[in-house]
Amino acid sequence: MKKYRCVLCGYIYDDAKEEVKFADLPDTWVCPLCGATKEQFEEIVEA
């Protein structure tokens, strides 16, 4: 499962903990903390 970080506030969206995968969220979805758009999230790559 993947995780994504909001570049504005640091909120982590974790596919394993959410009901909907990040990729399947609608384009109108925004960060629940700061209102950033999906485009302002980056995938977290774990080594």
Band (45; pLDDT cuts 50, 70, 90): very high
Task: Quick: pLDDT tens for 18-39.
Answer: 999 999 999 999 999 999 999 9
**What is d(CA 47, CA 39) in angstroms, rounded to the nearest whole number?**
23
What CATH fold (topology level) applies to the domain 3-44? Rubrerythrin, domain 2 (2.20.28)
Answer whether residue 15 shows pLDDT above 80.
yes
Q: What is the DSSP letter of 4?
A: E
Q: What is the pTM of this model?
A: 0.90
Domain ranges of the chain: 3-44
Looking at beta carbons, which pairs linking 25-30 to residues 24 or more positions away fall under 8 Å? none
**What is d(CA 17, CA 10) in angstroms, rounded to the nearest whole number?**
17
Band (46; pLDDT cuts 50, 70, 90): confident
Answer whether residue 47 shows pLDDT above 80.
no
